[in-house]
Amino acid sequence: MCKRKHRKNIYVSFLGMTIFLKCILWFYMASNVQKVRSIDQWMYGITIDDTWYERVGVHEIVDAIKNMPVKPTVRVVMSLDRSPSTYETLFKELNQVAYVMASPVDSSDMSSYKDEESYLKRFKETYDVLSMYVDIWEIGNEINGIEWIQQESTLIVNKVLQVNAFIKAKGGKSAVTLYYTDPSKVDMFDWVSKHFSGTGTFDIDYILISYYEDDNDGYKPDWNLIFSSLETYFPSAKLGIGECGNTEIDASVDSKISRIRSYYSAQKYSESFIGGYFWWYWVEDCIPHKHNKLYEEINYGMKLQELMLDERNEKR
Note the pLDDT tens digit of each residue in 179-227.
Answer: 999 999 999 999 999 999 887 888 999 999 999 999 999 999 999 999 9
The pLDDT of residue 171 is 97
274 Cβ contact list (under 8 Å, min separation 6) = 39, 40, 41, 42, 43, 238, 239, 240
| pLDDT band per the 50, 70, 90 thresholds, residue 18 | very low
Q: How many CB atoms lie within 10 A of CB 8?
A: 10
Q: Percent of the chain at pLDDT above 90?
A: 80
Residue 16 has pLDDT above 70, yes or no: no
d(CA 230, CA 304): 26
The pLDDT of residue 51 is 86
| pLDDT band per the 50, 70, 90 thresholds, residue 15 | very low
Round the average pLDDT of the chain to a whole number and report it: 90
Q: Which fold has domain 36-315?
A: TIM Barrel (3.20.20)
CA 57 to chain centroid, in Å, comes to: 23
**Peptide bond before residue 288 is cis, with ω within 30 degrees of 0:** yes
Cβ atoms of 112 and 82 closer than 8 Å = no
The mean per-residue pLDDT over the stretch 105-123 comes to 97
Which secondary-structure segment (H or E) carries 25?
helix 2-30
By three-state DSSP, how is residue 244 classified?
A: strand
239 Cβ contact list (under 8 Å, min separation 6) = 206, 207, 208, 209, 227, 230, 231, 269, 270, 272, 273, 274
Domains of the chain by residue range: 1-30, 36-315
The pLDDT of residue 31 is 52
Q: Percent of the chain at pLDDT above 70?
A: 89
Note the pLDDT tens digit of each residue in 266-305.
Answer: 989 999 999 999 999 999 999 999 999 999 999 999 999 9
User: CB burial class (10 A; 0-12, 13-18, 19+) of residue 107?
Assistant: buried
152 Cβ contact list (under 8 Å, min separation 6) = none
The mean per-residue pLDDT over the stretch 240-265 comes to 96
Cβ atoms of 176 and 204 closer than 8 Å = yes
d(CA 241, CA 244): 8
The mean per-residue pLDDT over the stretch 5-28 comes to 40
The pLDDT of residue 313 is 77
